[in-house]
Amino acid sequence: MSAQPRILAEGLGFPEGPVVLDDGSVAFVEIAHGRISRCRPDGRVDVIATPGGGPNGAALGPDGALYVCNNGGLEWHRDADGGLYPHGRPASYSGGRIERIDLATGRVERLYDRCGETPLSGPNDLVFDGHGGFWFTDLGELGTTHVQRGRVFHARADGSAIRQVVFPMLTPNGIGLSPDGRTLYVAETVTARLWAFDVAAPGQLALQVWPHNTPGRLLFALPHYGLFDSLAVEEGGNIAIATCAMPGLAGITVVAPTGGLVEQVPMPDRSTTNIAFGGADRRTAFVTLSRTGRLAAVPWARPGLATFD
């Protein structure tokens, strides 16, 4: 599949986490600006809330509020071509957390910033499960001299309970559920691997045991150098993974639920980071082109999955 993306908004501060709202507008985060914005159907962009830190992945909750993974803030640099990219943590790092944002008022409520005695490090992406809870990834940290291993958590949307369900993972990022809700998918950034976990019960996984470093099933590994970011699931079960890579290889990597490569859809940004489905029959892919600060729409060959809400 190849189609020219239609640019909906530009001049954004490293956009990610697109969420299609009922009125056809698209909410998204601007990580570099610490805020949540919205692109309306007529192209106007306005700010919903400014929680600070580094708002990252987002999803609509069962109560109609926006739930956001906040990584606490990142250090920003520009490459020789003027493209923006994150690298490490700033002195102003404010700690990882999960936030609930009222779309009508912009009120920001902190739901979680730790699990037991363990602080959240860099929450990245989340998906609701249809049982009043959500799964989310905590990427950890890519430091100058070290890598902090990441985790996957499950939490209740009302702020009443959080538990760690997978550890360790190496930079877990995108997360999604199969159409029947029985398989949890997690994409690792630096390994460009897609893992599958069997869901045993709401909030519980049937994990593999040693000698697996990551206690899941390896579903797919990118055959060339690149970085996996966020993902979305199609109605038929394919997993569409936003892929950062060199020109010609960056875009959306579509993987079958059996693990085979379906197709690679090129995008005009080395940092193609997030994808969400919306529009008529959910056949429009909304894609964040983060390095160049753009939100795009592209026709999609197959319908996206209706999210749990």
Give the pLDDT confidence of 257-299 residue by residue, as tens digits.
999 999 999 999 999 999 999 998 999 999 999 999 999 999 9
Q: How high is the pLDDT of residue 210?
A: 62
How many Å apart are CA 289 and CA 37, to the nearest integer?
A: 15
How many Å apart are CA 135 and CA 178, to the nearest integer?
A: 13
pTM for the whole structure: 0.97
> Is 205 a residue whose pLDDT tops 90?
yes
How many Å apart are CA 200 and CA 255, to the nearest integer?
A: 23
How many Å apart are CA 268 and CA 12, to the nearest integer?
A: 16
How is residue 261 written in tokens?
A: 């490569």
Q: How high is the pLDDT of residue 1?
A: 63
Domain positions in the chain: 6-299
What class has domain 6-299? Answer: mainly beta
Q: How high is the pLDDT of residue 30?
A: 98
Phi then psi for residue 145, to 5 deg, are: -120, 0
- Give mean pLDDT, residues 86-100: 95
Confidence of residue 87 (pLDDT cuts 50, 70, 90): confident
Q: How high is the pLDDT of residue 128?
A: 98
> Is 72 a residue whose pLDDT tops 80?
yes
How is residue 16 written in tokens?
A: 């990610």
Widest Cα–Cα separation across the chain = 53
Q: How high is the pLDDT of residue 211?
A: 59
For residue 303, count other CB atoms closer than 10 A to its CB: 16
Using DSSP's 3-state secondary structure scheme, residue 17 falls into strand
Phi-psi category of 62—alpha, beta or left, where left has phi over 0 and alpha has psi -120 to 50?
alpha
- Give mean pLDDT, residues 141-163: 93
Give the pLDDT confidence of 215-235 residue by residue, as tens digits.
789 999 999 999 999 999 999
Q: How high is the pLDDT of residue 286?
A: 98
> Is 175 a residue whose pLDDT tops 90?
yes
By CB atoms closer than 10 A (0-12, 13-18, 19+), residue 217 is middle
Confidence of residue 212 (pLDDT cuts 50, 70, 90): low
What are the angstrom distances between the C-alpha of 100 and each of 41, 97, 103, 104, 184? 24, 10, 9, 12, 23
Q: How high is the pLDDT of residue 207?
A: 81
> Is 248 a residue whose pLDDT tops 80?
yes
How many Å apart are CA 121 and CA 141, to the nearest integer?
A: 7
How many Å apart are CA 84 and CA 80, to the nearest integer?
A: 10
Percentage of the chain with pLDDT > 90? Answer: 90
Give the pLDDT confidence of 107-148 residue by residue, as tens digits.
999 999 999 999 999 999 999 999 999 999 999 998 878 889
Q: How high is the pLDDT of residue 157?
A: 96
- Mean residue pLDDT of the chain comes to 95
Q: How high is the pLDDT of residue 36?
A: 98
Using DSSP's 3-state secondary structure scheme, residue 35 falls into strand
DSSP 173-221: EEEEE-TTS-EEEEEETTTTEEEEEEEEETTEEE---TT-SSSSEEEEE
Q: How high is the pLDDT of residue 20?
A: 97
> Is 42 a residue whose pLDDT tops 60?
yes
> Is 199 a residue whose pLDDT tops 80?
yes
